[in-house]
Amino acid sequence: MSDIRQDVVAGFEEAYGSAPSGIWSAPGRVNLIGEHTDYNLGFVLPFAINRRTIVALGPRDDGRIGVASAYADEVAEIAIADLAPDRLRGWAAYPLGVAWALGQHGADLAAVPGVNLFIESTVPVGAGLSSSAAIESAVALALNDVWQLGFDRPTLAKVGQLAENKAVGAPTGIMDQSAALLGREDHAVFLDCRSLESHLVRLGFAEAGLEVLVIDTGVKHSHATGGYASRRASCEAGAKALEVASLRDLTVDDLPRARTLLDDETFRRVRHVVTENQRVLDTVDRLRTNGPLAIGELLDASHISMRDDFEISVPELDLAVETAQANGAIGARMTGGGFGGAAIALVPSDGISRIQVAIDGAFAEHGFGQPTMFTVTASNGAARD
Ligand code: ADP
Ligand code: MG
């Protein structure tokens, strides 16, 4: 058993005084390209990473659900019959929100036995690698198994999203849970966020001598507040003014008309989403026909669009991206919702250390806190371990 699995078993035993009956896990994700396109019903191309959230689960016979985490001190618990979004607080709203959301999707929560959960993770929290979807997806798969609910993975992704939207109160899209549940080694998940149809697209990074370097700036973001919600509102306003159901219904050919109808800020928000959707399609095309060495300029263009049009970057992310690009990266961009978190760079394996040294030096020179850097590989989605 790996260290983290031993830790989660030990943590479960300490919290509940008995051994768990099973272990499930789900990965964090990196979004290769397609940012803020998910809630606009467009395209995204995330991949599951080799950092996972592990859930140990055991039965209890009092109809209650207990959750504990290495991340927090207290054990939270509630009667399954009392699960409701307004009764859930703090980090426990993620796992308990999933239990509630399973009921919203048709599970008969009056008929399921009580359970205890203990959660441990190697996905950094708040870094834009979606520790939130990792915890939701691991819990959703675990409860789906032990409660014998029979939901398929796309439905479990919706369950996680519902928990995050209603129990946590973060208006996020379906991308992260889809990556955590549908990911596959050496593949990205190409997801149409309108139809929810997904295809695995081979990345071939290792074969091309490439690695993905994550640069976690350490700048904390929060989805439940501020910028994320206001960007969403701008997108809705843009779609309404242009009389389309969502920005998905626009292409780059619609942009001249959009410019005449929208104020400058809303236009730039719309232009980001429309061009980003096209970049996702182009990235998938190039991966399939030319391979990963051909996608760098699309990653670079995505970053510029987020920096200038969607205005969700921060100086630390810009510096990480520019320094990577100047030191041999094939392409680089911020990833995740923005306002902090991480950037990714697609880097030749033999150039990783040079880029890391350059980024460390640039951050020190600008007086920024030291970033955390590590490589990730495209990995399998949620599983019973
Ligand atoms: P991100 O998804 O980018 O990591 P979010 O703000 O969306 O950041 O989600 C982070 C939140 O998810 C944490 O603040 C915490 O409430 C919850 N969370 C994530 N991982 C764990 C964990 N292992 N144990 C407990 N709570 C967690
Ligand atoms: Mg999140």
Nearest residue CA, atom 17 of ligand 1? 91
Q: Which ligand is nearest to the CA of 341?
A: 1
Q: Which pLDDT score, from 0 to 100, does residue 223 have?
A: 57
64-69 and 114-121: which strand pairing? parallel
Q: What is the CATH number of the domain that holds 25?
A: 3.30.230.10
Q: What mean pLDDT, rounded, does the chain reach? A: 96
Query: Per the structure block, which two tokens stand in for 78?
Result: 């509630």
Q: Is residue 128 part of a domain?
A: yes
Q: Is residue 352 part of a domain?
A: no
Please measure the distance between the N-terminal and C-terminal CA atoms of the chain and give it in whole angstroms.
Answer: 10
**Residue ranges making up the domain that contains 96:** 2-201
Enumerate the β-bridge partners of residue 188. Answer: 201
What's the predicted TM-score (pTM) here?
0.94
Q: Which pLDDT score, from 0 to 100, does residue 222 have?
A: 63
Q: pLDDT at residue 105 above 60?
A: yes
- Using most ligand atoms within 8 A of CB, pick from 132, 136, 214, 339 the residue to mutate for ligand 1: 132
Exposure string of 4-21, with b = 16+ CB inside 10 Å and e = fewer, is bbebbbebbeebbeeebe
Domain tally for the chain?
A: 1
Give the pLDDT confidence of 118-132 residue by residue, as tens digits.
999 999 887 779 999
CA of 43 to the centre of ligand 1 (A): 24
CB 45 within 8 A of CB 34: yes
Give the pLDDT confidence of 158-201 residue by residue, as tens digits.
999 999 999 999 888 899 999 999 999 999 999 999 999 999 99
Q: Is residue 309 part of a domain?
A: no
Q: Is residue 215 part of a domain?
A: no
Q: pLDDT at residue 86 above 80?
A: yes
Q: Is residue 331 part of a domain?
A: no
CA of 301 to the centre of ligand 2 (A): 24
Give the pLDDT confidence of 262-300 residue by residue, as tens digits.
999 999 999 999 999 999 999 999 999 999 999 999 999
CB 59 within 8 A of CB 191: no
Q: Is residue 7 part of a domain?
A: yes
3-state secondary structure of 111: coil
Q: Is residue 189 part of a domain?
A: yes
Q: Is residue 289 part of a domain?
A: no
Q: pLDDT at residue 2 above 90?
A: no
